[in-house]
Amino acid sequence: MDMVKAAKELLLQDKVDIFLGYRKLDGHQIPHGFTKAHVDDLDQLEISLNRYPLEKIACDLAQKDPALKIGILARDCSQRALNLLYTWDQLNPENIETLTVNCCPSPLSTHGDCSYLTPKPTGDYKKAHGVDYNDSPKDFLANHDSGERLSRWMYEFQKCIKCYGCRNVCPVCFCKECSLEHPNLVEPGVLPAEVPIFHLIRATHMAGRCIDCGLCEDACPAHIPLRMLYREVNDAVSDIFGYVPGDHIEKSPFSIIGKTVELTPAPMDV
C-alpha cells in the first residue's frame, strides 16, 4: 500500500516525528501515533472507516511540544480543519505533513463514516416533529415558516443531555475558556442544557469556524442534527462575506483576536 510506504518515508527521513493514523485492535479501528522507533507498526496502518478528530489530537501534541513535526492521515474534512487551525494559529503549517485520503464526495471505496456518503436515516417521528438530518438549510427555510422552524429546533434542543460532546469532539473548538460554561450565559447544572441558548451560542461560535466534518452530529447522544444547524449559520457567513471556513489559509472575517478594534455605535438595522 502506497500510504504505508509514504508514511514510513516521512518517519524514516525525519520529515515528521510522529504520524497520526489508524490501526486495528481487536477488530476495532482506533487512532494511533506511529513513530520511527516502531516504524514497522505502519504495516498495520488503516484508513479507518471510523473518523476521529486527528487534527485535535495533533493540537494536543503541539501543545506539549510546539516544535514537534506531525504527519497526519488527512481526509478532505481533516484538510479543512487543518487549514482553519493554521488560520487561527493553533498549528504551524510548517510542522504538519499530510497524506491525503480524498473522499468528500468521491467514489473512493474506503469511505469514512460521513453522513454525506451514507446519509443517516431520519425516523418518522423526527421527520414530523423535528429536523431531518438530510434536509438542506435552504430547503428547510423555504418549506417551513418561522414558527414551524422554531418549534422544530426547540424539539431538537430539549433533548440535549449536555454532554458537550459537540464541542469536545470538534476539531476546530480550541478556546481555553468556553462561553457554554459561563454561568451568566448558560444556566449551569440543569437538564436539558438551557433551551435554546446553549445551542444558539454554540451555533454562532461555529459561524465562520465550522468545517462541516459532521463529527459533532455523530457524537450527539440526543440525535440533534447539528451538522445542519451549523451549515445554516455558515451559509450566512459565506453569503455575506464570501468566506468558506477551511477552504484556504486566509484570515476569517471574524479574526479580530489580539487586535484592538474600535466599534462605532450605530442603530441596529432591524
Partner 1 sequence: MDCEFVPSVCSYCGTGCGVLFEVIDGRINRTLPLKSHPVNQGKLCIKGWNLHEYINSYMRLKGPLVRENGRLEKATWDEAVNQAARRFTRIKEEHGPDSIGVLVSAKITNEENYLAQKFTRAVIGTNNVDHCARL
Partner 2 sequence: MTNSIAEFEHDSKAIFVIGSNTTACHPLIASRIIQAKENGAKLIVADPRNIQLARLADLSVNHRLGSDVALLNGMMHVIIQNQWHHPDYIADRCEDFDAFKAVIDMYTPDRVSDITGVAPKDIIRMAELYSQNAPAALLYAMGITQHTTGVDNVKSCCNLAMLCGNVGVKGGGINPLRGQNNVQGACDMGGLPNVFTGYQPVSDPGANKKFSDAWGVELSSTPGLTITDMIEAIDQKKIKAMYIIGENPKLSDPDWNHLNHALKKLEFLLVQDIFLSETAQSADVIFASAALGERDGTFTNTERRCMRARKAQDPVGNTLPDWQIISRLSSAMGYAMDYDSAETIFDEITGLTEKSYGGMTYERLGINGLQWPCPNPDHPGTPYLHKETFARGKGKFHAIEYKDPAELACGEYPFLLTTGRMFAHFHTGTMTRVSRHLDVEQKTGYVEIHPDDAMTIKIKSNDPVLLTSRRGQMEVSARITTDVMPGNLFLPIHFGENPTNILTSSNAFDPLAKIPEFKVGAVRIERLIQ
Residue numbers of the site for partner 2 (CB under 8 A)? 25-28, 122-126, 130, 158-159, 161-164, 181, 188-192, 221-223
Q: How far is the CB of 134 from partner 2 (least distance, A)?
A: 14
Closest CA to 90 of 226, 228, 211, 181: 211
Cα distance between the two ends of the chain: 58
C-alpha cell at 215: 463529527
Q: Binding partner of residue 61 among partner 1, partner 2, none, CB under 5 to 8 Å per kind?
A: partner 1
Write the DSSP string, 84-106.
HHHHTTSS-GGGEEEEE---TT-
Compare residues 76 and 194 and give the one whose CB is closer to partner 2.
194
Out of 113, 149, 185, 195, point to the residue binding partner 1 (CB under 8 A): 113
Among the listed ranges 2-10, 23-31, 87-95, 249-257, the one in contact with partner 1 (CB under 8 A) is: 23-31
* Least spacing, CB of residue 31 vs partner 2, in Å: 14
Q: Please report how close the Cβ of residue 188 comes to partner 2 at its closest, in angstroms.
A: 5
Q: How far is the CB of 241 from partner 2 (least distance, A)?
A: 33
The torsion angle over the Cα atoms of residues 45, 48, 54 and 55, rounded to 10 degrees, is: 110
Q: What is the contact mask toward partner 1 in residues 156 to 195, using x (rule: CB under 8 A)?
A: -----xxxxx--xx--------------------------
Q: What is the dihedral of CA 44, 70, 52, 229, to 10 degrees?
A: -150
The three grid cell numbers given for residue 98, joined into one nine-digit string: 499530510
CA distance 122 to 40: 43
Residue selected from 8, 32, 152, 205 as contacting partner 1 according to rule CB under 8 A: 32
Taking the C-alpha atoms of residue 79 and residue 11, their distance in angstroms, rounded to an integer, is 20
- Which helix (H) or strand (E) segment holds residue 8: the answer is helix 2-12
Q: Which of 7, 10, 11, 20 binds partner 1 (CB under 8 A)?
A: 20
3-state secondary structure of 191: coil
Beta-carbon count within 10 A of 28 CB: 10
Cell of 60: 494536543
For 117, other C-beta atoms within 10 Å of its C-beta total 13
Q: How far is the CB of 50 from partner 1 (least distance, A)?
A: 4
Which of partner 2, partner 1, none interacts with 192 (beta carbon under 5 to 8 A by kind)? partner 2
17 binds partner 1 (CB under 8 A): yes
32 binds, among partner 2, partner 1, none (CB under 5 to 8 A by kind): partner 1
The answer, yes or no, to whether the previous bond of 171 is cis (omega within 30 of 0) is no
Determine the Cα–Cα distance for residues 248 and 73; give it in Å rounded to an integer: 19
Stretch touching partner 1 by CB under 8 A, among 117-125, 199-207, 213-221, 261-269? 213-221
Q: Applying CB under 8 A, what is the total number of residues that bind partner 1?
A: 34
- Write out the residues near partner 1 by the rule CB under 8 A: 17-18, 20, 25-26, 28-33, 35, 50-53, 57, 60-61, 64-65, 68, 113, 161-165, 168-169, 218-221
